[in-house]
Structure 1
Amino acid sequence: MRHIAAQQAGLLRGLLPAPVGQAPAHLASLFPTIVVESAARLPVPGITFWANHRWHIHVREDDSADERAFTVLHQLKHIIDHPIRRVTTAFSDADWDALAKHFACLALARELTAASA
């Protein structure tokens, strides 16, 4: 599954304009059924839910732009995996969360590497 997540992250990087840190602003054009919004006083970095025939990703507005970008990509992976997650019990919630984190890290990898150089 990590290999598939890596391929998905690579494909997404090719679709998003640089910098990937601006992903929240560009996801709606790539995925019209996904709405990304900032929310005040959110107790966690982000949440994802289905409502009104769309996926909604809410991110904590007090987080930095980089943190919000990571959270959006992390939540996007949960959306991508949702159909598989519904039919398999092979992975725990922690496994799915680790996979989403891996995906988000890989999608942001080029920028993180450049920033640390």
Structure 2
Amino acid sequence: MSVSSQMMKGLLDGAILGLIAQGETYGYEILDKLKAQQFPEISDGSIYPVLLRLNKKGYIISYTKKSSTGGPKRKYYTITADGKSELAQFKSKWHDLNSGMNNLMRSVNHVE
């Protein structure tokens, strides 16, 4: 089953902000963490447009840093004060939406 792209867009913004809020991180690490949480339909190319959009909105900042493993430089991301505020709003809206959907789905299950 495919999740609509608009739904994924909104969810990815919140999920990625949440991961970056846990501490500085880079793109591939974000991808690994999303996959570890069984986030649906994540491809390598799907998070970078989100990171760019969040950066343009001022929710995150990026900087390059030498890799600790001796590899090439990596672009790291960290959350801003505006990003923390946006994440708090996302979490509140998600809680309300999730509660409503869970209530609705429970009532649908009783109908069957």
After TM superposition, is the score higher than 0.5? no
TM-score, normalised by the number of residues in structure 2: 0.29
Question: Rg: which structure is higher?
Answer: 2
TM-score, normalised by the number of residues in structure 1: 0.28
